[in-house]
Amino acid sequence: MSFSKSIYRVSLSAALLFTASSLAQHDHDHAQHDHASTQGTPGHIMHERHENFETMGEAFKTIRDQVRSRDADMQAISRSAETINDLAQQLHTWFPAGTGPEAGKTHAKAEIWQNKADFNAAAERLVEESGKFVALTQTGDASKVAGGIRGLGGACKNCHDQYRVEED
């Protein structure tokens, strides 16, 4: 698959607009949770964190599914890569003190708060890997994009192995 540069630019800005509006839509969907009385509470922060990881998981799944499909939708891949990169940059702010296992049901391990610098480095690794992956999607070269998934997924796994409780 290859793209002419100019067509790509147009579709990329459309993709960014789409990302912005779908994020706004997402906020809207969860507006009922944004009562002033609960905002900033551990429960609220943990809920938002969960939503953000779900969004990240969906974006990663879109990338994997599209790359596997015979006719990969490079715009969807690009959009999802941007979503992951945007969220990766915020990730380190989703874990304020008091939002660990002591505060309620979560898959976040207490070790996150014991090794905050190491945890933040794992988040930074995702910022870097997802940034590299965004750049690959901008080449429009499907085989390069497919080859980049391992590095991206590796940054997710690296953190999950250490800091996320296994799903039961």
3-state class percentages of the chain: helix first, strand second, coil last, to nearest 5: 75, 0, 25
Determine, following the binding rule CB under 6 A, whether residue 163 of this chain makes contact with ligand HEC.
Answer: yes
CB of 5 to ligand HEC, least distance (A): 27
Q: Which residue in 60, 82, 140, 148 binds ligand HEC (CB under 6 A)? A: 60
CB of 29 to ligand HEC, least distance (A): 16
Bridge partners of 108, per DSSP, are: 164
x/- letters, 30..49, toward ligand HEC (CB under 6 A) = ----------------x--x
Token pair 């870097």 is found at: 128
CB of 161 to ligand HEC, least distance (A): 10
Determine, following the binding rule CB under 6 A, whether residue 54 of this chain makes contact with ligand HEC.
Answer: yes
* Long-range Cβ contact pairs of 90-97 (< 8 A, separation 24 or more): 90/52, 91/52, 91/123, 91/126, 92/119, 92/120, 92/123, 92/124, 94/45, 94/48, 94/49, 94/52, 95/49, 95/119, 96/45
Cβ nearer to ligand HEC, comparing 34 with 128 = 128
| Contacts (Cβ under 8 Å, ≥6 apart) of 63 | 77, 80, 81, 149, 152
Q: Which residue in 15, 45, 74, 123 binds ligand HEC (CB under 6 A)? A: 123
Q: Which residues bind ligand HEC (CB under 6 A)?
A: 46, 49-50, 53-54, 56-57, 60, 84, 91, 106-108, 119, 122-123, 126, 155-156, 159-160, 163-164
